[in-house]
Amino acid sequence: MSFLLWLELTRIGTFVRESESLLGYPTFSTLHTIGLAIIVGLSTVVAVRLLGFAPTMRLVPLKKLFPIMWFGFAINTFSGSGLAAAAATQTIPDPMFIAKITCVLGAVVILRVLQVRVFRDSELENKSLDATNKFLAGSLLCLWLLAMITGRVIAYKFFEG
């Protein structure tokens, strides 16, 4: 038995795929949406500030958003794993899924780089935001957008006849 088939046949894969109540696919999909709203929404606030669109917004308070963003990422990791397991043989080899995971991993790496690069400095407000930070912030927004688009395409494929 292949690993992907085994993954589909696990309790979580079967539960998400076959549950007739609202506890299966709808719950995991809702959790995924909530996690996405948290991490992408708060990442967008940080990125927009770093791009210079909200110059009066102070950077120091934004540092407190990172633990919440990582919590949103944990929600998405859990819920996304369940959703992927439900149709592992179809979803995981799909180029759209691979593109989505690549975008998510890229966005998470950039988010962590920004957290260390920008928010570690105690002189945060006085620090000039250089072109690299702006490039990273713009890349972060692009990667989240691509991750959301590819994720929606995957969800539509899941319901194809």
pLDDT one-digit tens code per residue, 71-106: 999 999 999 999 999 989 989 999 999 999 999 999
Residue 138: alpha-carbon gap to chain centroid: 16
96: its two tokens: 């759209």
Q: Contact at 8 Å (CB) between 123 and 107?
A: no
11-63 tens-digit pLDDT? 989 998 888 777 888 899 999 999 999 999 999 999 999 998 888 888 888 99
Q: Contact at 8 Å (CB) between 144 and 45?
A: no
Rg of the chain over all Cα atoms, to the nearest angstrom: 18
pTM of the model: 0.88
Domain boundaries, the chain: 3-158
How many CA atoms lie within 13 Å of 23's alpha carbon, on the beta-carbon side?
A: 6
126: number of Cβ within 10 Å: 8
